[in-house]
Structure 1
Amino acid sequence: MVTLDEVLKDLQAESDSLDRLVSALDDKDWSRPTPAKGWTVAHQIAHLHWTDTVATLAAADPAAFVARMSAIEDPLTMVDRAAADTIAPPAELLRRWRDGRQALAEALSATPKDEKLPWFGTAMSPLSSATGRMMETWAHGQDVAETFPDRPDAQEHRRPTDRLRHVANLGFRTIGHSFLSHGERPPAAPFRIELSTVDGQVWTFGPEDAPNRVVGPAEDFCLLVTQRRHPADLRLQATGDEARRWTTLAQAFAGPPGQKREPRQ
């Protein structure tokens, strides 16, 4: 069983890796478009900072979080608008993001482990909140790194690590949510996930005899559940009608369905 301290440590490592990449960019590179439609590098970091800020609010003052979210007029465009509104000059945005990461870690560490924190359409423990931030940081870091295919530091950031297990675990735990967010009933039958890592490990989730199965590389599974790749571009094998359907709906993040990526080939 993973602990909050372990996830926070890995979240810090993932954030530091992305920080090293973006802090080495020229200011003009922050305006480069990323694979996320309409989002530049600055949008990606601004989104991470904004989400860290509201996650901190949810942990430190749940009532204030609920009041802030209730005042939002259009939830479907909230994420894009928040990212655009949070953009600042690179040096200032970096400082804010670093301070926000530290504030979030302190707020989650100070929250009782069994307390449920409000979030977008759900409630989460501090551990789940930290896991969600780990997932988002990795996913948006992928977009930033892919923007600079010729930079060695970008390729180093994209190298898979054991930290992906948090993302994979969240992807498995949100299978039912993926169906619900698309207005469909979650399958009654269980799922089995078997993922291979670059260093020869196999991560498994769910019962061995489950009728729905997804097998393949751990990195590809994480790219699927964060909607960073179209299923057709991934080396995943789905067995069972419900498993195959899930690969078209998968989303490890809360809220409405995201803008899925188009096939690359």
Structure 2
Amino acid sequence: MPEPTPASAGSPVPAAASDVFDDLRAESEELDRLVAGLAAEGWRRATPAPGWSIAHQIAHLAWTDRSALLALTDADRFRELVEEALAAPDAFVDEGAEEAAGLPPAELLARWREGRARLDAALRAAPPGVRFPWYGPPMTARSMATGRLMETWAHGQDVADALGVVRAPTDRLRHVVRIGVRARDFAFGVRGLPVPGEEFRVEVVGPAGQVWAYGPEDAAQRVTGPALDFCLLVTRRAHRNDLAVRAVGPDAGQWLDIAQAFAGPPGTGRAPKTGEEPPA
């Protein structure tokens, strides 16, 4: 899934204490530790994404890292990738993952590690404020790193679910929250729904009990809940019914049904584990 198409939905929270480039590296290293010791059959284990094994998840990250590196360093070659995506909008993501998923695990792991190291260096070397081409609107290096972190975390969740591992949430979730909030209008637009005319207040509670807030304090429509649950919601890694994210207001409630932090078609998302409707 390509990077998010941001949409304004409130004022940004202050920058995180740690740098987004460092956080992207740490997020990747955490996922690396999950897969590094897997035997060959472990790489073939199915994940919650239909048709995708753990190998597909890592292959997709390696493929998208390469795309991001080209966007930063070779605009002409990247434009060719965009043309390929436009020619097969419903298939290019799966094809990109399938291309490397069949490699021997050690080779795939080495390819991912090398690619993300090269991308890390390019992101840090990029001039601040300069926008680079992407599948959606052009992005700065910091925005691109935020998108890569979101994807790494989300696909890491698929891997963790496949392995039955419960990951401890970290303050790096703040980046995923931010991109999910900013993509609010995109979530409505990609479904052909009218974009709400008013801003929402979003207040989520981070792992250490800190509140991360967006939007006017006096907004009539509000979204609240744990940051982890909000991130699972906007990356469509869990169904709303299974999460403690709550909405006040009809538009805010509709958003929780359709929220997504990534560009492209929304997909089917996850089925609810319970048949109950979320409380108001």
1:39 aligns with 2:52: yes
Q: Please name the residue that 2:192 is paired with.
A: 183
- The residue type equivalent to 1:70 in the other structure is E
Deviation at 1:123?
1.7
Deviation at 1:166?
0.5
* Bigger relative contact order, structure 1 or 2 (CA pairs below 8 A, ≥6 apart): 2
1:85 aligns with 2:99: yes
Distance 1:9 1:140 in 2: 19
Is the 1:4–1:130 contact (alpha carbons within 8 Å) kept by the matching residues of 2? Answer: no
SS at match of 1:159: coil
Superposed CA offset, 1:91-130 (max 9, x none): 0010000011111111122222222222223221111100
Task: Provide the alpha-carbon RMSD of the alignment.
Answer: 1.6
Q: Which moved more, 1:117-126 or 1:185-194?
A: 117-126
Q: Please name the residue that 1:133 is paired with.
A: 148
SS at match of 1:75: coil
Distance 2:132 2:181 in 1: 21
Distance 1:65 1:4 in 2: 32
Identity over aligned pairs, percent: 51
**Pairwise mapping of residues 129-208 of structure 1 onto structure 2 (< 5 A)?**
129-149=144-164, 154-155=165-166, 158-208=167-217
Structure 1 or 2: larger helix share?
A: 1
Distance 2:156 2:115 in 1: 17
TM-score w.r.t. length of structure 2: 0.89
TM-score w.r.t. length of structure 1: 0.93
Is the 2:16–2:174 contact (alpha carbons within 8 Å) kept by the matching residues of 1? Answer: no
- The residue type equivalent to 2:93 in the other structure is V
Q: Which moved more, 1:115-124 or 1:39-48?
A: 115-124
SS at match of 2:108: helix
Runs of at least 5 residues in structure 2 that lack an aligned partner in the other structure? 1-13, 275-280
- Mark the CA change 1:117 to 1:4 in structure 2 (over 3 Å): closer, same or farther: farther
| Count of equivalent residues | 259
Q: Please name the residue that 1:70 is paired with.
A: 83
Runs of 4+ residues over 4 Å off in structure 1:
none
- The residue type equivalent to 1:122 in the other structure is P
SS at match of 2:91: helix
- The residue type equivalent to 1:243 in the other structure is A
